[in-house]
Amino acid sequence: MGTGFFALLVVLLVAGIGVQLFRTSHLTIAKFGFNFWRTKTWDPVSGEFGALPFIWGTLYSSVLAMLISTPIAIGIAIFLSELSPGPLRTPLTFLTELLAAIPSIVYGLWGIFVLVPLVRHFEVLTPPWLKKVPLFSGPPLGVGMLSAALILAIMVIPFSSSVAREVLRAVPASQREAAYALGATRWEAIRAALSYGRTGILGAVMLGFGRALGETMAVTMVIGNNPQVSASLFAPQHTMAAVIANEFTEAADDLYLSALVEIGLVLFVLTVLINGISRFLIWRTGRVVATEEIDSTPLAASEAGA
Amino acid sequence: MSRSRRRRLFSNLVVFLCSAAVLVALVPLAFIFVYVVKQGFSSLNWDFFTQMPKPVGEAGGGMANAIVGTLMLMGIASLLAIPVGMMCGIYLAEYGAGKFAFFVRFAADVLNGVPSIVIGIFAYGLAVLPFKRFSAVAGGMALGFMMIPIIARTTEELLKLVPSSLREGALALGASRAKASFSVMVPAALPGIMTGILVAVARIAGETAPLLFTSFNNRFFTTRVDQPIASLTVQVYTYAISPYEDWHRQAWAGALVLVGVVFFFSVLARVVTRRLERMHRT
Amino acid sequence: MKILRLLALTAIALACALSPASAENVQINGAGATFPFPIYSKWFSEYNKLHPDVQINYQSIGSGGGIRQLTNQTVFFGATDGPMTPEQMQQSGGRVLHLPTVLGGVVPVYNIPGVDAKLKFSGKVLADIILGKVNKWNDAAILALNPGVKLPGTDITVCHRSDGSGTTYIFVDYLSKVSPDFKKTVGVATSVNWPVGVGGKGNEGVAGLVRQTPGSIGYVELIYAIQNKIDYGSVQNLAGEFVRASVESVTAAAAAASTKMPSDFRVSITNAPGAGVYPISSFTWLLFYESPKDRQRARIMKDFTRWALTEGQKYAAELGYSPLPESVVKLELAALDRIRA
């Protein structure tokens, strides 16, 4: 059974990643235990490592990005699958898919040279009374949490909306027809479709969230790379993925390296959890093939029609 | 002002909001794209494709080594991922009902979602440290790991679409299960699987994070796979965060080439899909 | 894991076998400090012109990275601006030779819209700015040093390195010498726990940040300030003079050290005594194992180093570095023989 070997290989690969991360991070796991995740001093000089600022930065930027991108992504998905006039649909769909494929380094480049100056411009305009609110405190740098969240949102929108559109497309036409037959308005028909595919859409959002958590290059280029726990949108902060990219090759002693790998380990565990949950949700909606980007559903549809 | 009127108004509002979402998101997104193309084109010249990078601060030079490097990394990754991914997909299509297959599928999904930087750490431990060298192979491996799940899942899906009558026919003619799989089912699904491969290639062509500490970077032109190698993405990153105007210019040019490569594969995948759809219809 | 490692091994072995094993084309990899990157890339490029069969690939990933990757033996040589610590020497698994290549100065760069004057800093004020204690440009302490300069009341944004860096080492080494407070709260290393500020990767990254951020202050190697046309200030030296970094003032800092150079070349020359001395100066070092496994590459690197210490020094000044004093070069040429090749 030759093919089984390769299937086993894939499982081993994933297990291997987990085992290797775990083994390489044993130093900090043994030394700091759970405190690693509760303290916020990241001081390679004295060998004190607390990862709270990175967790905070990752969660803050990702959650913020999801708050911005989710309504927009769902709106786009609805437009593309339910409302769009025929001739617009194909080019728009194509555009979303292409945008989902733009490399993150390109978004990062755009972020540095266009988004950051733009954000700084708006930060400078912030009136003094507003600066007293912790959310908007601090000097106007441009680089910081706001830029990071915006760039993440921009990157996640095409991705989440593609998946959500697939979910909506998989909702049987009978659902909407039944709604219309009962005299429903357009929105009410859409709502019927939405509620039919709600778990799948939630799954799409979760997948987008997973993407945002692990995004590295674009974020590190605009977030300011400063480990601090701050509520301010203007403050430069740091994320888990960014600190690995910045410091991995230069972690000069073993404890330092171990600390970085432990951060990687947590990213890995988060991935397993998020994927587990979201795949389960998408799977529950049934027929949706949740492969990424362009998938085989058009084939499936034509196959069914043939 | 009846209830139905209110309902219709609300409905129109939602329709309006959804259209607005398209406008507020897709238009700026398209703008990014246009911006990259504009900046890229004004910076792109023939030297970019034929010259090596110049020493720091000297103007001119190009990314010839990085372009070749990226192509080589894609090649190495494909060499690793296509056989593993396809075989894994075949297994899933053939024996997909079992408990083990469930694990395999889950593993593939997880692998697909693992942040690329984490794959980088893994490849560093697996293929850089033990051999005491950064190398193109290590980088290609990291990228290959990311391709495997995409190829595996597309292969599986595509094989499932091949009419089972084909397989039954082969089996009836006395072919073994493996033989039926490889000589009848896989060829039938092959064009579709190709699209999966193209999508996977498009995805990894733009990856930076897993290369930072595997294939590293190289100022010189090399085709050796056991040495550090330049890649477009790492080069764009290095140039982007630098303070030199000329390097910024080259970073834009690099970004445009990257986008071009990625789009080429994405569009190719789409065209293949289209043609397949048409074939299936007739 | 075993299977995976085995597969990786086969793949690499296969790759090595398939690669054209051209003996005439040697590639040598090095990594480390960004501080000397401009001159190193010039050197490696010039040396490649003299010896087309030798390609020395240097990646500026930071001094911390240079030390780490050398210790992991993923690169043949390292480069750093902060000498390795005793613990790092212990972990290196072999004697490591430090060889100074050039001298450089770290300058405080700033970007204050509307201010063209060259600011003056004292060590104490600089330390307080970095610590976040002085956080407005029109703070009395800064105004006192710069009478007649109209400074705005904007916030100071401190830009520092986000990666391990020898430039950081030199800078904080100096600040720790002049400010006990700084020494206590931050300390000396290639990466430290910054009290305030924004992080950029590499000298390039910090220069980029300062250029892009109005009201910012940062620290970069002199050449990065010159090439990017960023304003940099003068710093008060031990003799009380305000000195701007230049080839001469940095060389002056090495004068004292060159007479009593320790045999391992690991010496700090920040805040050096004497007139006309720029106080934030340092050597930058190449790192080699004294008994490397690869004798062929060791031979080439010895030849390169000999060239860089003699012929190559002429490129230093035009790139904003200071050439090594003759006496130091002589000591080093002798020390090169410690590398077995």
- For residues A203 and A282, the answer to whether their CB atoms sit within 8 Å is yes
Residues contacting residue B35 through CB under 8 Å, at least 6 positions apart: A110, A114
**C108, β-bridge pairs:** C219
pLDDT in tens, chain A (306 residues): 578 888 999 999 999 999 999 999 999 999 998 889 888 888 877 788 999 999 999 999 999 999 999 999 999 998 888 887 778 888 888 888 788 888 999 999 999 889 988 998 888 888 888 888 888 887 777 888 999 999 999 999 988 888 888 888 888 888 888 888 888 888 888 888 888 888 888 888 888 898 899 999 999 989 988 888 989 998 889 999 999 998 887 776 788 889 999 999 999 999 888 888 877 776 666 544 444 333 333 333 333 332
- For residues A77 and A159, the answer to whether their CB atoms sit within 8 Å is no
Q: Which residues of C touch B129 (CB under 8 A)?
A: 72, 74
Q: For chain A, which chains pass the contact test of at least 3 CB pairs under 8 Å?
A: B, C
Please state the φ and ψ torsions of residue A283, each to the nearest 5 degrees.
-60, -35
CB atoms B141 and C11 under 8 Å: yes
Query: What is the side-by-side strand order in the sheet with C120-121?
Result: C120-121, C234-236, C242-243
Which residues of chain B fall below pLDDT 70?
A: 1, 57, 243, 280-282
Tell which residue, A69, A270, A236, has the closest CA to residue A151. A69
pLDDT band for C314, please (50, 70, 90 cuts).
very high
Query: What is the pLDDT at residue A306?
Result: 29
- Rounded-to-integer distance, Cα B254 and Cα B66, Å: 9
- Rounded-to-integer distance, Cα B148 and Cα B143, Å: 9
* Distance, first Cα to last Cα, chain A: 34
- For residues C235 and C171, the answer to whether their CB atoms sit within 8 Å is no
Please state the φ and ψ torsions of residue A40, each to the nearest 5 degrees.
-120, 20
- Rounded-to-integer distance, Cα A191 and Cα A208, Å: 22
B8 to chain A: closest CA residue: A185
- Rounded-to-integer distance, Cα A99 and Cα A94, Å: 9
- Rounded-to-integer distance, Cα C327 and Cα C317, Å: 18
Query: What is the pLDDT at residue C130?
Result: 94
Token couple for B163: 């009419």
C208 to chain A: closest CA residue: A112
C21 pLDDT more than 70 = no
How close C56 comes to chain A (CA, Å)?
Answer: 19
Q: How many CA atoms lie within 13 A of C104 on its CB side?
A: 37
pLDDT band for C3, please (50, 70, 90 cuts).
low
Number of H helices, E strands in chain B: 11, 0
- Rounded-to-integer distance, Cα C286 and Cα C135, Å: 37
Q: Is B94 on the interface with A (CB under 8 A)?
A: yes
Query: What is the pLDDT at residue C309?
Result: 95
**C29, β-bridge pairs:** C57
**CA distances from residue C186 to C39, C172, C191, C209, C257 in whole angstroms, order as listed:** 30, 8, 10, 22, 26
**CA distances from residue C65 to A254, C60, C81 in whole angstroms, order as listed:** 13, 9, 11
Query: What is the pLDDT at residue A304?
Result: 31
DSSP C156: P
Q: Is C1 on the interface with A (CB under 8 A)?
A: yes
Helix, strand or coil, per DSSP, at residue C132: coil
Distance of alpha carbon B149 from the chain centroid: 11
Token couple for C281: 């100066």
For chain C, where are the alpha helices, taking DSSP H only? Answer: 2-18, 37-50, 63-71, 86-91, 123-131, 140-145, 166-178, 180-185, 202-212, 222-227, 247-259, 295-309, 326-335
* Distance, first Cα to last Cα, chain B: 53
CB atoms A226 and C194 under 8 Å: yes
Q: For chain B, which chains pass the contact test of at least 3 CB pairs under 8 Å?
A: A, C
Q: For chain C, which chains pass the contact test of at least 3 CB pairs under 8 Å?
A: A, B
Q: Is A111 on the interface with B (CB under 8 A)?
A: no
Q: Is C163 on the interface with A (CB under 8 A)?
A: yes
Amino acid at C115: V
From B95, B103, B208, residue closest to A105, measured CB to CB: B208
Q: Per DSSP, which regions of chain A are E strands?
A: 42-43, 48-49
pLDDT band for C1, please (50, 70, 90 cuts).
low
Q: Is A289 on the interface with B (CB under 8 A)?
A: yes
From B127, B134, B137, residue closest to C29, measured CB to CB: B134
Helix, strand or coil, per DSSP, at residue C269: coil
Query: What is the pLDDT at residue A285?
Result: 61
How many residue pairs bridge chain A and chain C with CB atoms within 8 Å of each other?
104
Query: What is the pLDDT at residue A305?
Result: 30
Q: Which residues of B touch A216 (CB under 8 A)?
A: 115-117, 208-209
Task: Quote the ipTM score.
Answer: 0.87
Reported as type and span, the H/E element at residue A55 is helix A52-78
Q: What is the DSSP string of A193-258?
A: HHHHTHHHHHHHHHHHHHHHHH--HHHHHHS---------SSS----HHHHHHHHGGG--SHHHHH
- Rounded-to-integer distance, Cα C11 and Cα C17, Å: 10
Which position has the higher pLDDT, A137 or C51?
Answer: C51
Instruction: Provide the pairing of β-strand C231-232 with C96-111.
Output: antiparallel
- For residues C32 and C63, the answer to whether their CB atoms sit within 8 Å is yes
Q: What is the DSSP string of B17-34?
A: HHHHHHHHHHHHHHHHHH
CB atoms C64 and A141 under 8 Å: no
How close A48 comes to chain C (CA, Å)?
Answer: 10
Q: Which residues of A touch B26 (CB under 8 A)?
A: 76, 92, 95-96, 99
C13 to chain B: closest CA residue: B226
From B55, B57, B226, residue closest to C15, measured CB to CB: B226
Please state the φ and ψ torsions of residue A167, each to the nearest 5 degrees.
-60, -45
From B54, B126, B217, residue closest to C8, measured CB to CB: B126
Query: What is the pLDDT at residue B282?
Result: 55
Tell which residue, A72, A156, A168, A158, has the closest CA to residue B22. A72
Query: What is the pLDDT at residue A1?
Result: 58
How close A201 comes to chain B (CA, Å)?
Answer: 16
Which position has the higher pLDDT, B78 or C206?
Answer: B78
**B206, β-bridge pairs:** none
- For residues C250 and C100, the answer to whether their CB atoms sit within 8 Å is no
Q: Is A216 on the interface with B (CB under 8 A)?
A: yes
C48 pLDDT more than 50 = yes
C127 pLDDT more than 90 = yes
Tell which residue, C95, B25, B125, has the closest CA to residue A265. B125
The residue whose two tokens read 């087309």 is C52
CB atoms C191 and A143 under 8 Å: no
Sign of CA dihedral A247, A248, A252, A257: positive
DSSP C243: E
Q: Is A12 on the interface with C (CB under 8 A)?
A: yes
Q: Is A180 on the interface with B (CB under 8 A)?
A: no
How close C322 comes to chain B (CA, Å)?
Answer: 18
Query: What is the pLDDT at residue C300?
Result: 93
CB atoms C91 and A46 under 8 Å: no
pLDDT per residue over C73-82, tens digit each? 899 999 998 8
- For residues B236 and B143, the answer to whether their CB atoms sit within 8 Å is no
From C8, C38, C75, residue closest to B57, measured CB to CB: C38
Helix, strand or coil, per DSSP, at residue C101: strand
Instruction: Provide the pairing of β-strand C231-232 with C234-236.
Output: unpaired
C7 pLDDT more than 70 = no
A16 to chain C: closest CA residue: C1
Q: Is A293 on the interface with B (CB under 8 A)?
A: yes
Reported as type and span, the H/E element at residue B147 is helix B136-161
Token couple for C283: 């050597």
Helix, strand or coil, per DSSP, at residue B62: coil
- For residues A19 and B115, the answer to whether their CB atoms sit within 8 Å is no
Helix, strand or coil, per DSSP, at residue A290: coil
- Rounded-to-integer distance, Cα C149 and Cα C147, Å: 6
**CA distances from residue C29 to A75, A290, C49, C239, C311 in whole angstroms, order as listed:** 51, 43, 17, 42, 22
Q: Is A303 on the interface with B (CB under 8 A)?
A: yes
Q: pTM to 2 decimals?
A: 0.85
Which of A21, A246, A248, A256 best tests the C interface by mutation, with the highest count of C CBs <10 A? Answer: A246
C18 pLDDT more than 70 = no
Angle, helices C295-309 vs C326-335, to 10°: value is 170
Query: What is the pLDDT at residue A218?
Result: 92
Tell which residue, B46, C11, B133, B87, has the closest CA to residue A1. B87
CB atoms C201 and A246 under 8 Å: yes
Distance of alpha carbon A265 from the chain centroid: 17
How close C23 comes to chain A (CA, Å)?
Answer: 30
Torsion (CA) C188, C191, C193, C194 in degrees, nearest 10: 90
Tell which residue, A19, A53, A34, A26, has the closest CA to residue A255. A26
Q: Is B214 on the interface with C (CB under 8 A)?
A: no
C59 to chain A: closest CA residue: A249
B259 to chain A: closest CA residue: A102
